[in-house]
Structure 1
Amino acid sequence: MAVQASSKLDIAKFAKVHSLMNGGATDGERSAARARAEAMASKAGMTLKQAVSSLDAQPKAQPFNFFEGFDDWMEEKEPGWKAQKAREKAERKSRDDICREEVLARYGSEEALFARTEQEAALDKAIEPLATWEYWTDDDGTRHRFPKTMDGKTPKFGTWYFEDITPAIREAVTNAYPWPSNLDAALKEVKAWERLRRDRALFSGGEWSHYPEVECRFALLEKELNEGRPATSWSDIQARFDWKRYEFEREWIDPTERKDPFLDRLEADFANLRKAYAERQTEKRSVPTTNAQKRAAVLSMLDTHPELSDREIARRIGVSPQTVNTWRRKRNATNSEATTP
């Protein structure tokens, strides 16, 4: 009877009403959807429960899989391919299991992991005047809101990129809490957001997307690191080097080290220059300034390196060759008097 009656039910329309029954934005919307669903079921000679069951009985369309047959093709081309991929999958699962334990140890529970952070709460409050809201319900029945639009805009491809951010959105998300004071701090915030996303993905089937307001802040931080604020210190330049390495390595599921000889050489050159500059600064700070300091430094060098010329000692200490010559003659005269019977 239920099977025959289900043929009278417009499954497509009922499915839409049923989704509103559970996911409507307000209690009134959900109640209205339930009443409509009951009416549709009754018209088809079914109870609401039978109508809902008919949805479950509908065959699920299988999405097209572009990679179907790829593993077989690779196995034929490279024997052992499947076994290698199976090992990598097992290693990844083992690594993810360990990571999940570490995440729970840090947060205490899954509930705490998915609770809005202070930064997320501040961003949510900051964009409130600009947003229209939609809601989703998690597995525990808790409803969460997220902005469907901000400043009248929706992202073109479902993700907020820099070009989607209006001046009003920029002001809201940059002032929600203090903006990083330098590029190193900007990189640290990017890494913190990435770590939160990865932590939550471990408990969400491998995927987790940040709230749109977080995506906007994240896009502005990346813009800052790529081409925004000019570097004003050695640390800022180092942060840009670190950012380019991190940007590459975060793209991979498994840990993958960047292999770019040119950038590696450039980073090493920068490290050498930075070290040399620091050493020169140290030398400058150690240059004697008072006459007493100059005398002590020259006499000490004459005691330890008497073979060096006046000019070389002067260069190392930071005094004039005449000063070194003066104290050398005085030292020699004193030593001569001390040895005269």
Structure 2
Amino acid sequence: MVAGLETFAKVRALHERTDNPGEKAAAAGRMETLARKAGMTTVEAVSKLDGAPSRPVPGVDWSAFADVFWRAEAATDAADGPEASCQRRGLPIYDPDKVEPWCNVAEHCRQLEWIIPKAHGGRFLTKEERARLKVLTRHYGSVKNSTAGWIESVLARCEAARQSWRDRGRAGVRPDRKATESDIEKVAELVAAAKRREASKLDEPEGQSAAPRNPFEALFNTPEFRAQQAERQRRDAERRVAALAEYGSEDAVFAETEHERALEAACRPLIVRKPIIGGDMDTLLGWDFIGGGDFRPEVREAVAAAYDLPVRPREAWEEWQGWDRIYRDREAFFRDYGFPVWVEARRHVVEELLNEAPARSMNDLRARLSWIDYLKSIDLLGHRPRDDALLATLRADIERMGTRIRDQAASVQNGQGDTSGPVGSPNPGTSNRPVQSGQPRRTNAEKRRDVLALLNLRGFQTAPLTDREIARRAGVSPQTVGNIRRRTHD
């Protein structure tokens, strides 16, 4: 055996032994790669193997192979070396124009290899190879060139077995035994039945169509569904172009951000694998984003400690929009993309803040309205026609309130605050009726509300008001204003 070509000889033996076209193609490509690493062509490598002596003989200059060894060793560090990272992200398995990641390809091969009967070419992997595929199904990222070549050969063999399984009823002969007289009779019966079906179709009246074999075929082939699919593909294509212009490459789109790395590091001690159909998945102490398990306090503390957690609804909405933008950019390249469980845990906490954090400014109210609009758009609130008008009215009320508060703040800065009366209810139907003295009777709760409204004017780029000014405008004593201010700060 020529040194450095042992692997080439094994692959060559597989190429000569198999009758599967996919395996032959994969083996031929592997032979070409191995020969190139040794500094030869495939023909030269085959001739060296065929003409190599079985043991060293006198008169052979073995020093000539030193350069071959050196070139082969250097090739292992090259980009196309077996131990180098594969430049391909995966293989197309469902759509020729869509590349699935290696973990999905491994899961696809694992299922096909086990489902297809052995008589049709299935269940050809050893126990160790099945275990290797199972490990690859949980590997999110690139693989080595050697692993990619092995997965590709397994996929080719699975596809050939699946085609054989699909054709099992057409030939009428099982692939694991020779044809017998009964097999020939079965083929004749199948041909006769096919002719009878064709003749019956000619007798059917025009306009009468046979029922679809697949119950979902009628749904998936409707013009509306095809139009929706075409529209989604168009949007995905536009988003891919924009993402490539922003990030520079597809790899950069899927590269982990600083926040993703921080969340993974903070949640790593809490990761627990949970078995599911066909494998297992990551959970955080049993919680997963699908809705299984309880969201434990330890998980909440971990995602909050990874980096600063938002406090106000506006900040929570900005972070949520950032995660949503990353998700949509990646989904445009990979339809079935999903965030890791630690990112979903962070989004869960942010969504809680959007639902429950108290609003402290008009921007917080606007952010919460935007969040409600999003929930309505995906029908999580149970959309009703009157909801649109209700939300539009609520948004207009908030904008009108913001304009009024800004006008009041401007009047205070211009020294016109003395002409303004106490802050009251804008709705005449809910305001207190005047008493006999002609002055409205105000409760303590209303006084506190008016003082808080004037204290909150600081959030609209105005100078802070003194306690005496607030007391004059609200119609209370400066001591009351000071008490309310201290309680608010506490």
TM-score, structure 2 length as denominator? 0.41
User: 273, 284, 290: which is aligned to 1:150?
Assistant: 284
Does 2:258 align with 1:130? no
Deviation at 1:246, TM superposition (A): 2.1
Q: What is aligned with 2:339?
A: 210
Q: What is aligned with 2:78?
A: none
1:148-188 CA deviation, whole Å, 9 max, x = no partner? 2323x153xxx354973111111001110111132111011
Q: What is aligned with 2:216?
A: 67
Q: What is aligned with 1:184?
A: 314
Q: Which runs of 4+ in 1 moved over 3 A?
A: 5-9, 11-19, 49-52, 64-67, 84-92, 160-163
Between the aligned partners of 1:118 and 1:272, the Cα distance in structure 2 is 40
Question: Structure 2 vs 1, CA of residues 109 and 71 (structure 1 numbering), >3 Å: closer, same or farther?
Answer: closer
Between the aligned partners of 2:310 and 2:342, the Cα distance in structure 1 is 17
Residue 232 of structure 1 aligns to a residue in which SS?
coil
Q: What is aligned with 2:405?
A: 277
Q: What is aligned with 1:229?
A: 357
1:284-321 CA deviation, whole Å, 9 max, x = no partner? 121169xxxxxxxxxxxxxxxxxxxxxxxxxxxxxxxx
| Structure 1, unaligned runs of 5 or more | 27-48, 76-81, 135-145, 253-257, 290-341
Question: Structure 2 vs 1, CA of residues 16 and 169 (structure 1 numbering), >3 Å: closer, same or farther?
Answer: farther
Query: For residues 105-120 of structure 1, what are the structure 2 equivalents within 5 Å?
Result: 105-120=245-260
Q: What is aligned with 1:246?
A: 374
Give the aligned residue type for 1:243.
Answer: W
Q: What is aligned with 2:328?
A: 198
Residue 330 of structure 2 aligns to a residue in which SS?
helix
1:252-302 CA deviation, whole Å, 9 max, x = no partner? 9xxxxx97111111111121112111111111121169xxxxxxxxxxxxx
Between the aligned partners of 2:246 and 2:155, the Cα distance in structure 1 is 45
Deviation at 1:101, TM superposition (A): 0.8
| Contact persistence 2:303–2:342 (CA under 8 A) | yes
Count of residues paired in the alignment:
232
| Contact persistence 1:201–1:208 (CA under 8 A) | yes
Deviation at 1:56, TM superposition (A): 4.5
Q: What is aligned with 2:393?
A: 265
Between the aligned partners of 1:68 and 1:16, the Cα distance in structure 2 is 38
Which has the bigger relative contact order, CA under 8 A and spacing at least 6? 1
Q: What is aligned with 2:133?
A: 22
Give the aligned residue type for 1:239.
Answer: A
User: 213, 216, 235: which is aligned to 1:95?
Assistant: 235
Question: Structure 2 vs 1, CA of residues 251 and 14 (structure 1 numbering), >3 Å: closer, same or farther?
Answer: farther
Give the aligned residue type for 1:287.
Answer: G
| Contact persistence 1:15–1:55 (CA under 8 A) | no
User: 349, 358, 382: which is aligned to 1:220?
Assistant: 349
Deviation at 1:14, TM superposition (A): 4.5
Give the aligned residue type for 1:279.
Answer: D
Between the aligned partners of 2:228 and 2:214, the Cα distance in structure 1 is 21
Give the aligned residue type for 2:233.
Answer: K
Give the aligned residue type for 1:20.
Answer: A
Question: Structure 2 vs 1, CA of residues 66 and 237 (structure 1 numbering), >3 Å: closer, same or farther?
Answer: farther
Between the aligned partners of 1:16 and 1:266, the Cα distance in structure 2 is 63
Does 2:157 align with 1:53? yes
Between the aligned partners of 1:99 and 1:8, the Cα distance in structure 2 is 43
| Contact persistence 1:126–1:176 (CA under 8 A) | yes
Give the aligned residue type for 1:22.
Answer: L
| Contact persistence 1:160–1:215 (CA under 8 A) | no
Q: What is aligned with 1:7?
A: 119
Between the aligned partners of 1:192 and 1:100, the Cα distance in structure 2 is 17
Taking only the aligned residue pairs, the percentage that are identical comes to: 29
Residue 283 of structure 2 aligns to a residue in which SS?
strand
Deviation at 1:235, TM superposition (A): 1.8
| Contact persistence 1:2–1:50 (CA under 8 A) | no
| Contact persistence 2:287–2:295 (CA under 8 A) | no
Deviation at 1:66, TM superposition (A): 5.9
Residue 217 of structure 2 aligns to a residue in which SS?
coil
Q: What is aligned with 1:172?
A: 302
Query: For residues 25-44 of structure 1, what are the structure 2 equivalents within 5 Å?
Result: none
Between the aligned partners of 1:244 and 1:66, the Cα distance in structure 2 is 37
TM-score, structure 1 length as denominator? 0.57
